[in-house]
Structure 1
Amino acid sequence: MDNKNKCFSPDCNNKSETEFCPECLANGGFKPNVNPQLENNFRYHSPKEGQPERYQLIRDKVKELAYLIDGNCPNSREKSLAITNLEQAMMWANASIARNE
């Protein structure tokens, strides 16, 4: 039984033990439709030294602002959107650290 995989290079039917067959590797073969940014954005990023403390610092400051908004703005759609956007800002700030270090 042949357990080798098909090569990822377009128009190649060779079998390979890795992602690409030797011929395609020699010719700069590539895995089709791979976007390095998407690969990075949609993978798990285990915390590195010092990152959890920075995540918490950002969460604490955003929470402080959320309480300020909650205590000073009338209940409304606008207030809800402000809080939602704070949550988004916190998430994106922490994602910036996780994805780019």
Structure 2
Amino acid sequence: MFLWTKPKGLKTFRMNLEKAQATSVLAANQGLYNGFLAAGLVWAALHPDAVFAKQLAIFFTACVLVAAAYGGYSVSRKIMLFQGLPALLALVVILLG
């Protein structure tokens, strides 16, 4: 979101500056969604009610997993590895814990 048109963002997402500038609004939207997912997971980690905190963690981790599945299907299978696998492992830990 913040580095989309910067050298690090261009390298990470293998884009040129022109494409990055043309898609910067989409990147900001995606970054905002990711921020909400992160806020939900922080909320889960800090909530004093353990049962509700676990429900929050399951919901928001599942959201990350669904986003990774869609990204893997629609953009690149690498997304499933880098975003989906950690989310799946986290979900398993949450469900077992």
TM-score by length of 1: 0.35
Which is helix-richer, 1 or 2? Answer: 2
TM-score, L = length of structure 2: 0.36
